[in-house]
Amino acid sequence: MSKKKQPLRPKHVPQRTCFVCREKRDKRQLTRLVRTPEGPVVVDPTGKQNGRGAYLCDQAACWDKVLANGRLLNQALKTTISEADLAAIAAQRPAVNEPH
Ligand SMILES: [Zn+2]
């Protein structure tokens, strides 16, 4: 009887870099923001939407920075985000780990 060994493959977890803190994280811990071909910048929960994308991690500090200063997003996406788009993104802010 021959025993076949299953090759042990390390699980590949896709990583993305948060455009605010520049930390690499598991893709699922980041929110993709995408500048759609039509213009508006939206939250892309699928990660598959067309357009130029930037990843934002789930740290409250990073979200605070972006929502307080739309220019960070403008630089990352080479766009000029409108107040309305920024407000729409703010409304979709994920549950974050607020310091107590
Ligand atoms: Zn971050």
CATH number of the domain within which 42 lies:
3.30.1230.10
Indicate whether 20 belongs to any domain. yes
Distance from residue 18's CA to the centre of ligand 1 (Å): 5
Indicate whether 72 belongs to any domain. yes
Indicate whether 79 belongs to any domain. yes
Characterize 83-97 residue by residue with b for buried, 16 or more Cβ atoms within 10 angstroms of its Cβ, and e for exposed: eebbeebeeebeeee
Indicate whether 10 belongs to any domain. no
Number of domains, the chain: 1
Distance from residue 3's CA to the centre of ligand 1 (Å): 46
Indicate whether 7 belongs to any domain. no
41 pairs with which residues across the strands?
35
For residue 18, the surrounding DSSP H or E stretch is none
Distance from residue 30's CA to the centre of ligand 1 (Å): 8
- Which residue range(s) make up the domain with 35? 15-91
Indicate whether 75 belongs to any domain. yes
Per-residue pLDDT of the chain (100 residues; tens, 9 = 90+): 666 777 777 788 899 999 999 999 999 999 999 999 999 999 999 999 999 999 999 999 999 999 999 999 999 999 999 999 999 999 999 775 555 5
Distance from residue 1's CA to the centre of ligand 1 (Å): 53
Kindly report the pTM of this predicted structure: 0.82
